[in-house]
Amino acid sequence: MNTNIEASVGDDVLRMQGTQVLVLGDLILDTYVSGKVGRISPEAPVPVVVEQKQWAVLGGAANVAANIAAFGGKVLLAGRIGKDNDADRFMGVCKELHVDASAVIQSSSCPTTRKLRVMAGYQQVVRIDSESTELLNANDEAFLEKKVQEFMALKGPKALVISDYGKGVCTTSLLKNAIGLANSHKVPVITDPKSLDMKRYSGTTLIKPNLSEGREILHLSAPGTHYPTFDDELEAMCSAVLVHSGSRNVVLSLSEKGVTVRGKDVDGPAHFESMALQVADVSGAGDTMVAILAMGIGASIGTSRSVQLANIAAGVVCAKLGTATLSASEFLDAFKQKTEGTQPEKILGRDDLARILSQSRHSGNKVVFTNGCFDLLHAGHIETLQKSKSFGDILVVAINSDTSVKKLKGTGRPLQSEGDRARIMAAMACVDYVTIFEEETPRDLILKLKPDVLVKGGDYKPETIVGAKDVVSWGGRIEVIPLVPGRSTTSLVDRSKR
């Protein structure tokens, strides 16, 4: 795990959101019907599902795009759909999710690829597919290649995703030209392959087959070979994929065994254990992984680091029903829980924190804010912090800088530096984020973060609390927590002197 406070996962997430990603591949509309099973059909030995709900989400390459958009990234989707009701539904979902679909072709000769899943609770009863695998015609191929050229001319960090589901969009010539354009502009290419003809993906920066695909490639490379252990087989699979694809790096997703990475951009083999604590549905977890890999590598945060973050993201999505996406705030919560992240992942500057909190509110979370010097953490502080967390979902603690503490408390204070005080505060389980402010009061910070609840200790009255009127003005509330008698930093300092 990255332990550099200046390069925390919060910083990584914000850099990733600034990456522009072009997702090129096969587009699918995933539709669902859910209901209850109460009896077996008299017509055949099959369950009767009484429909209760219908919905549709983006699938295939479009699910990669949906994941990028949900994470707060910038995405352009390129591929093919039909001219039918499913196409209208597909474009409507793209608009709703803020996915730029201006590079999507509508074909008169092919239907929109659709997967219909009938669900009884969490159990999938049946899946019905509608699709065509007709290859792109020359005009459509030229259109998509032009979109790739236009994308490569954009300024800023970029990445190209090739999401090949074998439905006809990823022709050999289109892939060759798209990857060639990306390489000439030094834009990383992340490929999710379905074809066993790995040469089609030559020039890829990172290729991500799953375990069964890796085994198929290994079998073609060395049929009948026996491997004494799974680790031996794993090494052989990675080597075979790298050789046959010509990719710089390979990430092999191993289901419950986690994910492993090999290649030119990593320092030796790296493996990350599975982060799926609960599996409701694995649909789309690979797409989530590809989305995070693309944003991470495009943002230059490093291949191993990108794989680590992508593995966590995929594990969270596995706990969701159906083809799912992940917001940045959900990811940060999962990162802290699953890696026991404390200090680097919680300490953020005000601008970065404001962005994260804004995204978190969109997920329905309530933000609680409190502030103080916290020079010597004592039982009174602990009680205040724990009670503060009970008022909402996310607790933000703002700490006075060394300069502002000196102005407030006088010479000899603070006893601990702002960095040390922030680290100690970040180690508290009830604290979600920590930030440091230079001003004598936190009002500017409160106006920036716009908390839903403002908390102070019992030595304050609501009308004297800085920022109270502002919080109430946007519909928030003020909470005053009684002080614990005899517990204060000043009393501790005096006692130690005596």
Q: What is the pLDDT of residues 310-343, one digit of tens each?
A: 988 887 877 555 556 788 777 877 776 655 544 4
Sequence-ordered list of residues with C-beta below 8 angstroms from that of 151, at least 6 positions apart, any chain: 20, 22, 76, 158, 160
Question: Alpha-carbon distance 439 to 420, whole Å?
Answer: 19
Domains located in the chain, CATH noted: 5-344 (3.40.1190.20), 347-497 (3.40.50.620)
pLDDT of residue 400: 94
Nearest to 207 by CA among 196, 222, 221, 219: 196
pLDDT digits (tens, 9 = 90+) for 470-490: 999 999 999 998 876 555 555
Tokens of 328: 């940045």
Structural element, H or E, at residue 407: helix 402-409
Looking at residue 429, its amino acid is A
Per-residue DSSP letter, 157? -
Crossing angle of helices 303-318 and 9-17, in 10° steps, is: 90
Question: Alpha-carbon distance 422 to 235, whole Å?
Answer: 43
> If you average pLDDT over residues 352-372, what whole number do you get?
86
Average model confidence (pLDDT) across the chain: 87
Q: Is 287 one of the catalytic residues?
A: yes
Tokens of 205: 């920066």
Of 19-23, 237-241, 312-316, the range with the lowest mean pLDDT is: 312-316
Q: Are strands 123-130 and 114-120 parallel, antiparallel or unpaired?
A: antiparallel
pLDDT of residue 7: 43
Q: Which of 140, 192, 281, 287 is catalytic?
A: 287
Q: Decide if 217 contacts 196 (C-beta within 8 A).
A: yes
pLDDT at 1 over 90: no
Question: How many other C-beta atoms are found inside a 10 Å radius of the C-beta of residue 30?
Answer: 23
Percent of the chain's residues with pLDDT above 70:
90
Sequence-ordered list of residues with C-beta below 8 angstroms from that of 67, at least 6 positions apart, any chain: 284, 287, 288, 291, 292, 325, 326
Q: Are strands 47-60 and 74-81 parallel, antiparallel or unpaired?
A: unpaired
pLDDT of residue 408: 85
Residue 354 backbone phi and psi in degrees, to 5: -60, -40
pLDDT of residue 328: 78
pLDDT of residue 283: 52
Percent of the chain's residues with pLDDT above 90:
61
pLDDT of residue 222: 86
Residue 224 backbone phi and psi in degrees, to 5: 80, 0
Of 4-8, 110-114, 181-185, 201-205, the range with the lowest mean pLDDT is: 4-8
Q: Decide if 345 contacts 381 (C-beta within 8 A).
A: no
Question: Alpha-carbon distance 249 to 265, whole Å?
Answer: 7
3-state DSSP assignment of residue 84: coil
pLDDT digits (tens, 9 = 90+) for 402-459: 999 988 888 778 889 998 999 889 888 889 899 999 998 999 999 999 999 999 887 6
Nearest to 74 by CA among 333, 311, 298: 298
Of 82-96, 148-162, 288-302, 456-470, the range with the lowest mean pLDDT is: 456-470
Q: Which residue has the higher pLDDT, 176 or 267?
A: 176
- Which residues share a beta bridge with 98? none
Q: What angle do CA 148, 153, 156 make, to 5 degrees?
A: 110
pLDDT at 180 over 80: yes
Per-residue DSSP letter, 97? T
pLDDT of residue 22: 98
Looking at residue 93, its amino acid is V
